[in-house]
């Protein structure tokens, strides 16, 4: 019998054939929603789950391995985001949504005089509901919210500067916008907020795995991540990084949050970021995330290079079709948003699936009715051409 937990493969096969999880009878252009899990990550997760079940999670063997595996996951995540050796600043979560709720809900803000109203939290019109909803929920605690549009970096940063001159206390923004694929000026905005004593939280759900993330050079106070979009890891895994855990209140507590508790209810929380973790998690899924990160270490810069090439090809093909392009050509991301001219976006999305067997995403936001096309390094030039040809047929033919 083997008491040793399964290991990840440090040098996995990173060929397109080895990493492709999808069936071959359709095309998938919704990686920004969820990236199909790499088969090697599936196998790693399943092998770990089977082994942990065989030894009993709360046996001496299982419990020690469970904790060691989660420690290793935090260390691997820290290294992937530019904080080698910074595992104590990483907390594991179910998703970026989970992390954002913990961070935004736990923001420690200075109390305001009643005549001024609550603390002012600034966010952007580029945000996903997973960031906007917990921000808006702060209103029930008396806080105020200002949503700033992003037309261009200069005007956006000027609005941020004006908000913090008006005593804003926190900024919540994405590194890569889910509604446009824009790379937002996080580092510049963080400097403005910090000069005014503010706290900055960054949603990296659309960044990690396709766009470099370095938590120190970006300069924010906290970042939220997930493993199953651009990383192509197992579903239900995420994490967040905090520079100083004491700047955030622990609003949820559980057996993994604390070092000690007495019978009077006095709780001593862990000093590290894992104080924000509360209960039992699927350690096998996080083991699969570690395997996914090993894939990305091997792929290196080839992902970014491939995404840029595919983006250029897609924009070139869309230029000949009746679309209004909402995405900037210079952004190095696998997200392109376009609105069809003369046809409802939802109808086009539905027909692309029913008639062409191609998955694209309908975006319906205030002021935005469009189609989001999101692709990754596993896509081929021919996939882009097939997508463009399918759009051409769909837009040229009337509804049946």
Tell me the CATH number at 282: 3.40.640.10
Pairing of the two strands 144-148 and 120-124: parallel
Does residue 319 form part of some domain? yes
Q: Are residues 224 and 311 located together in one domain of the fold?
A: no
Q: Are residues 224 and 357 located together in one domain of the fold?
A: no
Which residue range(s) make up the domain with 292?
Answer: 64-296
Q: What is the Cβ-side half-sphere exposure of residue 97, based on CA atoms within 13 angstroms? A: 10
At 263 the pLDDT is 58
Does residue 208 form part of some domain? yes
- Domain end position, chosen among 296, 314, 337: 296
Does residue 307 form part of some domain? yes
Does residue 19 form part of some domain? no
Does residue 51 form part of some domain? no
Question: Cα–Cα distance between 297 and 87 in angstroms, integer?
Answer: 18
Nearest-CA neighbor of 290 among 48, 29, 17, 114? 48
CA angle 279, 282, 287 (to 5 degrees): 125
Q: Are residues 189 and 72 located together in one domain of the fold?
A: yes
Pairing of the two strands 267-269 and 323-325: unpaired
Q: Are residues 155 and 215 located together in one domain of the fold?
A: yes
Q: Are residues 349 and 211 located together in one domain of the fold?
A: no
Looking at the 3D structure of the chain, how many domains does it have?
2
Does residue 53 form part of some domain? no
- For residue 337, give both structure tokens: 């948003």
Tell me the CATH number at 339: 3.90.1150.10
Q: Are residues 168 and 289 located together in one domain of the fold?
A: yes
pLDDT tens-place values along the chain, 400 residues long: 678 999 999 999 999 999 999 999 999 999 999 999 999 999 999 999 999 999 998 899 989 999 999 999 999 999 999 999 999 999 999 999 999 999 999 999 876 545 467 899 999 999 999 999 999 999 999 999 999 999 999 999 999 999 999 999 999 999 999 999 999 999 999 999 999 999 999 999 999 999 999 999 999 999 999 999 999 999 999 999 999 999 999 888 887 887 655 656 677 888 899 999 999 999 999 999 999 999 999 999 999 999 999 999 999 999 999 999 999 999 999 999 999 999 999 999 999 999 999 999 999 988 899 999 999 999 999 999 999 999 999 999 876 5
Q: Are residues 103 and 192 located together in one domain of the fold?
A: yes
Distances (CA, A) of 210 to 47, 108, 181, 375: 27, 32, 11, 10
Q: Are residues 373 and 275 located together in one domain of the fold?
A: no
Does residue 7 form part of some domain? no
Question: Cα–Cα distance between 259 and 280 in angstroms, integer?
Answer: 16
Q: Are residues 225 and 261 located together in one domain of the fold?
A: yes
Q: Are residues 289 and 349 located together in one domain of the fold?
A: no
Does residue 375 form part of some domain? yes
The secondary element (H helix, E strand) that includes residue 123 is: strand 120-124
Q: Are residues 178 and 282 located together in one domain of the fold?
A: yes
Question: Cα–Cα distance between 204 and 220 in angstroms, integer?
Answer: 12
At 115 the pLDDT is 45
- Domain end position, chosen among 296, 329, 350: 296
Q: Are residues 246 and 359 located together in one domain of the fold?
A: no
Distances (CA, A) of 361 to 66, 169, 335, 389: 37, 35, 11, 17
């Amino acid at each position: 019998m083997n008491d040793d937990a399964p290991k990840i493969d440090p040098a996995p096969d990173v060929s397109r054939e080895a990493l492709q999880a999808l069936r071959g009878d359709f095309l998938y252009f919704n990686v920004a929603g969820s990236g199909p899990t790499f088969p090697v990550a599936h196998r790693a997760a399943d092998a770990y789950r089977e082994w942990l079940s065989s030894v009993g999670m709360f046996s001496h063997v299982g419990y020690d391995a469970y904790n060691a595996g989660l420690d290793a996951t935090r260390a691997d995540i820290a290294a992937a985001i530019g904080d080698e050796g910074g595992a104590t600043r990483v907390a594991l979560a179910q998703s970026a949504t989970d992390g954002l709720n913990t961070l935004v809900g736990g923001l420690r803000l200075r109390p305001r005089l009643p005549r001024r109203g609550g603390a002012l939290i600034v966010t952007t019109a580029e945000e996903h509901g997973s960031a906007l909803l917990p921000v808006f929920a702060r209103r029930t605690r008396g806080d105020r919210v200002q949503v700033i549009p992003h037309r261009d970096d200069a005007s956006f940063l000027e609005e941020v500067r004006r908000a913090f001159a008006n005593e804003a206390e926190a900024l919540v923004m994405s590194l890569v916008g889910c509604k446009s694929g824009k790379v937002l000026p996080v580092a510049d905005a963080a400097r403005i907020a910090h000069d005014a004593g503010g706290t900055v939280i960054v949603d990296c759900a659309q960044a990690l795995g396709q766009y470099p993330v370095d938590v120190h050079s970006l300069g924010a106070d906290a970042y939220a991540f997930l493993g199953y979009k651009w990383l192509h890891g197992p579903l239900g895994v995420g994490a967040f990084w905090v520079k100083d855990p004491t700047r955030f209140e622990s609003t949820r507590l559980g057996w993994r949050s604390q070092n000690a508790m007495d019978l009077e209810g006095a709780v001593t929380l862990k000093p590290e970021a894992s104080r924000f973790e509360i209960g039992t998690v699927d350690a096998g899924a996080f083991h699969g995330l570690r395997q996914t990160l090993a894939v990305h270490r091997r792929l290196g810069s080839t992902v970014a290079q491939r995404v840029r090439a595919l983006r250029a090809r897609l924009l070139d093909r869309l230029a000949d079709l009746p679309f209004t392009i909402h995405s900037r050509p210079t952004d190095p991301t696998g997200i392109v948003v376009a609105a069809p001219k003369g046809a409802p976006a939802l109808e086009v999305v539905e027909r692309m699936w029913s008639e062409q067997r191609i998955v694209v995403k309908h975006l319906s936001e205030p002021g935005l009715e469009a189609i989001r096309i999101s692709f990754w390094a596993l896509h081929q030039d021919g996939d882009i051409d097939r997508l463009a040809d399918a759009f051409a047929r769909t837009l040229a033919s009337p509804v049946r």
